[in-house]
């Protein structure tokens, strides 16, 4: 039996897979603010889901950048109590098996690339639109080594433009993320009905996707994250076609197919 997880700033999702291919059962619980409690809750949910069966391997993602050795979270605005805490080691101790830890966007991107909307495409650009913006380039189901994390949300799309929470100006994140909608427009993405606002948002997003395309050359662009469902896809595709003049065709922009389960399928792939 395999254990899969997706630890977010608000919730922890934990699942078991008996065959290493499909999800057998899963549960969502709030992410405790303190790390020690987090490990206790994780163990309790895992024991409940596995019904005491031996765990052969564990894999999953955590929200935020992790250290180079992939053992712990190094930065997080939502769960600061987990920063630099030995997540991988504690799980290895608790379950006495191999543990693979990754950044949650990496795991979600791999999941969509191998089992979701990117299935069948060699190079997938995964862009996660949530309260922030993240993304990964996935090639043949794997995220290539990088010196730094890919940060498509922090590419400059407007010279000297709006202030980003990272301190930079004109980055994509303050133009297309959930936090921006709430801060500047006072409403969540799903509540915006003004087509003029959507037109502006999709234009900025398309500029970011043009850049992602010329640097990443994806066969397909998969949008994930909570905000993605509100985005008018036709508009994004049409602007991308209009702006991306160097290629005869633009990659198709599609919605992720797995929702919150993307992380579980990505974790299964990591265990293979």
Give the integer Cα–Cα distance in Å for 25 and 29: 14
Least separation in angstroms between residue 208's CB and Zn ion is: 12
Task: Give the residue among 249, 268, 238 at the shortest CA–CA distance from 100.
Answer: 268
Least separation in angstroms between residue 174's CB and Zn ion is: 7
Least separation in angstroms between residue 14's CB and Zn ion is: 31
The answer to whether 214 contacts Zn ion (rule: CB under 5 A) is no
The answer to whether 132 contacts Zn ion (rule: CB under 5 A) is no
Separation in Å, CA 57 to CA 26, 78, 141, 177:
16, 27, 19, 35
Which residue has the closest beta carbon to Zn ion?
164
Give the integer Cα–Cα distance in Å for 8 and 50: 21
User: Which stretch in 9-17, 123-131, 146-154, 254-262 sits in contact with Zn ion by CB under 5 A?
Assistant: 146-154
64 phi and psi angles, rounded to 5 deg: 135, 170
Could you say which DSSP state residue 83 is in? B
The answer to whether 171 contacts Zn ion (rule: CB under 5 A) is yes
Find the binder of Zn ion among 164, 207, 258, 268 (CB under 5 A).
164
Strand partners, 124: 138, 220
User: Which stretch in 22-30, 80-88, 148-156, 254-262 sits in contact with Zn ion by CB under 5 A?
Assistant: 148-156
Considering beta carbons, is residue 13 or 154 the nearer one to Zn ion? Answer: 154
Residues near Zn ion, by CB under 5 A? 154, 164, 166, 168, 171
């Amino acid at each position: 039996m395999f254990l899969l997880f997706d630890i977010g700033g608000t919730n922890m999702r934990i699942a078991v897979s008996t065959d290493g291919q499909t999800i057998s059962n899963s549960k969502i619980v709030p992410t405790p603010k303190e790390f020690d409690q987090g490990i206790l809750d994780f163990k309790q949910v895992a024991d409940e889901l596995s019904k005491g069966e031996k765990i052969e391997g564990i894999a999953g993602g955590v929200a935020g950048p992790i250290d180079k050795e992939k053992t712990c979270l190094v930065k997080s605005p939502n769960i600061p109590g987990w920063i630099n805490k030995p997540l991988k080691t504690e799980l290895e101790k608790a379950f006495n098996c191999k543990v693979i830890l990754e950044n949650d966007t990496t795991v979600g991107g791999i999941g969509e690339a191998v089992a979701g909307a990117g299935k069948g495409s060699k190079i997938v650009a995964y862009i996660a639109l949530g309260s922030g913006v993240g993304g990964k380039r996935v090639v043949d189901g794997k995220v290539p080594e990088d010196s730094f994390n890919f940060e498509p949300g922090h590419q400059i799309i407007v010279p000297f433009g709006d202030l980003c929470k990272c301190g930079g100006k004109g980055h994509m994140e303050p133009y297309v993320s959930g936090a921006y909608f709430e801060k500047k427009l006072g409403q969540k993405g799903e509540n915006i009905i003004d087509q003029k606002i959507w037109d502006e948002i999709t234009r900025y997003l398309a500029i970011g996707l043009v850049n992602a395309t010329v640097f990443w050359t994806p066969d397909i662009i998969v949008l994930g994250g909570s905000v993605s469902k509100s985005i008018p896809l036709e508009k994004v595709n049409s602007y991308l076609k209009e702006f991306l003049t160097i290629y005869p065709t633009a990659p198709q922009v599609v919605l992720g197919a797995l929702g919150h389960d993307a992380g579980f399928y990505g974790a299964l792939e990591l265990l293979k």
